Amino acid sequence: MSEHPVDEADFVVVSNRLPVDRTDDDADPWRRSPGGLVAALEPVMRTVQGAWVGWPGKADLEVEPFEFDGLSLVPVALSGDDVQLYYEGFSNDTIWPLYHDVIAAPGYHRTWWDAYVRVNRRFAEAAASIAAEGATVWVHDYQLQLVPALLRERRPDLTIGYFHHIPFPAYGIYAQLPWRKQVLEGLLGADVIGFQRVADAGNFARAVRRVFSYETKAGAISVPTPDGGSRVAVAKAYPISIDASVYDELARRPDIQARAREIRESLGDPATILLGVDRLDYTKGIRHRLKAFGELLNDGRLSVEDVTLVQVASPSRERVEAYMQLRDEIELTVGRINGDHDTVGRSAIRYLHHSYPREEMVALYLAADVMLVTALRDGMNLVAKEYVASRIDGGGTLVLSEFAGAADELTQAIKVNPHDIDGLKDAIMSVIELPEGERRKRMKALRRRVSEYDVARWSQRFLDDLAASKGASA
C-alpha cells in the first residue's frame, strides 16, 4: 500500500463497499473482499486506469485515498449511525426486501430515508471531487440510487452509468415506497441504467411512465432538463457474469481436484452429493430447499446412505433482525432433519455457516453432482455460473430457480419453481436419475454460454453503450 493521493480519474467506479476489508493487522491493514459485486468488477478495474469510491467496511474509519494492489481507492467514511440507518436500515431492510418482491416485510422509516439521502450525497461529492473533466462514472447498486442525479447536478460534464444488481419490482410493489418519486429521479440522472433482466428494465420504464408520464420508447426515456429541453436516459438489460477463466484455471489445479476427492471421501463417498452455496439470505430459498430434501428423506425416496446435502450458508447482515430469525429457522430445520435421519457414519446435511476461500468453493463445485440454486428472487445468481464454469469435466447438473436472473440465459439447467415443494422434490429426483448422456449434453451447452458471455463482455457492452450515449448527447 502506498499513501499517494489519487489524482483526477477518467474512469470512476462508485459502490457501497470498496473491494477491500480492513484487517486488525497494522503491517497488512487491507485484505481483498469477496462478494458478488467485487467478483464481477475486479477484472474490469484492472484493465482501465481509474479510481474506486466506496465505504471501507468499518464504522468511523476515516482513511485518505490510497493505492492497493494496483487499484486507486477513495474511501467514504460512515459513522455508526450511518451504518445502522443508511446501510442496515434503508438499504438492507427497506429496499432489499421491497425489490425482492416483499419476501420479508420492508420497514419504512423516515429516519432511515434521511440517512440514505445524506450518505448518497456524500458518495456523490466524493466521486465529483476526483472525476476529471468529461470523465465516465459508473455507479453500482441499490444502496446508491440517488447518486446519478446528485452527481449530474454537481458535474453536468460527466457521463454517468448506473447498474442495478438486484431485481427491479413490478409497479404494484414498487408503489409502496413512500419515496418512489425521489428514487426514480435519482436513477434517471444516469445516461445508461443497466438491469439484470429484460423484465427488470421493463418494470423500471413502466414505473417512470406511471410516476412522471415521461415518454419511453424501447428503453429510451425522454427526461426533461432544467433548461426546458430534454435528454435521453437508456434503461436496458445487461446480464452480469463471472470471469469464467479464473474458475476454469482453479478447477484444473491438481491440488484442488485432490481436495474435491477428499471432500467426497470425508462425506463417506455417497452416490450423490447435492450442494447449496448462498449468503445466508431469505431471498435464496434455503428453507424451501431444506424442506424438499427433508421430505424426500421422510418419504423414503432418498436415503442418507446414498445422498448428502452440503449447504454452505456464508454469514451475512447479521445485525438485521430478519437475518437473525432466518438463521435460527434454518439451523432448527437442519438440526431436526439430521436428528431424524443421521446414522453414526452418515449425515443428511452437512451445514457450514462459514466463508471459504475461492479454492475451497471450486473444490466443492467439483465434488458436487448436483448444484441447487432455489432462489425465491435473485438479480442474477453468480453461484450458478461459477458452478458451470468449474465443471471442466463436463459433469454435474444445475437445478435453477426460474426466479433467478440466470434462468434467462442458462436455459439448459433443470428449471424449478421453489415455491412448489412437490415440483422441487420431483426435480431433485429426476436429476439424480438423469441419464449420463443427457446430463453431459446440458452441461456442455451451459458451459458454452458462460465462457462466451463472461464478465468482460458484460462490462464491455455496458461501457460501449455508455460511450455511445456520450456521443449522442454531445
CB of 60 to ligand GDG, least distance (A): 25
> For ligand GDG, which residue of 257, 308, 381, 469 counts as binding (CB under 6 A)?
381
What does residue 282 show for φ and ψ, rounded to 5 degrees?
-70, -10
Nearer to ligand GDG (CB atom), residue 185 or residue 386: 386
Nearer to ligand GDG, 361 or 376 (CB): 361
Q: Which of 101, 356, 392, 415 binds ligand GDG (CB under 6 A)?
A: 356
Task: Check residue 382 for interaction with ligand GDG (CB under 6 A).
Answer: yes
Q: Which residue, 99 or 179, has its beta carbon nearer to ligand GDG?
A: 99
Q: Considering the complex, state which of residue 245 and residue 314 has its C-beta at the smaller distance from ligand GDG.
A: 314
Lookup: cell for 378: 435473485
> Which position's Cβ is nearest ligand GDG?
36
Q: Which positions from 383 through 412 interact with ligand GDG, judged by CB under 6 A? A: 383, 386
Report CA 317 to chain centroid distance, whole Å.
14
Which residues contact residue 189 at a Cβ distance below 8 angstroms, ignoring those fewer than 6 apart?
A: 147, 148, 149, 150, 151, 152, 153, 160
Identify which of residues 250 and 431 has a Cβ nearer to ligand GDG in the complex.
250
Q: Is 279 in the site for ligand GDG (CB under 6 A)?
A: yes
Measured between alpha carbons, how far is 77 from 57 in angstroms, rounded to an integer? Answer: 9
Q: How many residues does the chain have?
A: 474
Query: Contact letters (x/-) for ligand GDG, 31-60, by CB under 6 A?
Result: ---xxxx-xx--------------------
Which of the residues 193 through 232 are near ligand GDG (CB under 6 A)?
none
User: Under the criterion CB under 6 A, does residue 237 sit at the interface with ligand GDG?
Assistant: no
Smallest distance, ligand GDG to C-beta of residue 380, A: 3
Chain residues 302-341 in contact with ligand GDG, contact rule CB under 6 A: 312, 314
| Cα–Cα distance measured from residue 416 to residue 403, given in angstroms and rounded to the nearest whole number | 9
Minimum gap (Å) between residue 245 Cβ and ligand GDG: 15
Shortest distance (Å) from residue 383 CB to ligand GDG: 4
Residue 358: how many CB atoms within 10 A of its CB?
Answer: 14
User: To the nearest whole angstrom, how small is the minimum distance from the Cβ of residue 406 to ligand GDG?
Assistant: 8
> Using CB under 6 A as the criterion, which residues of the chain lie in contact with ligand GDG when the complex forms?
34-37, 39-40, 165-166, 240, 277, 279, 312, 314, 355-358, 361, 378-383, 386
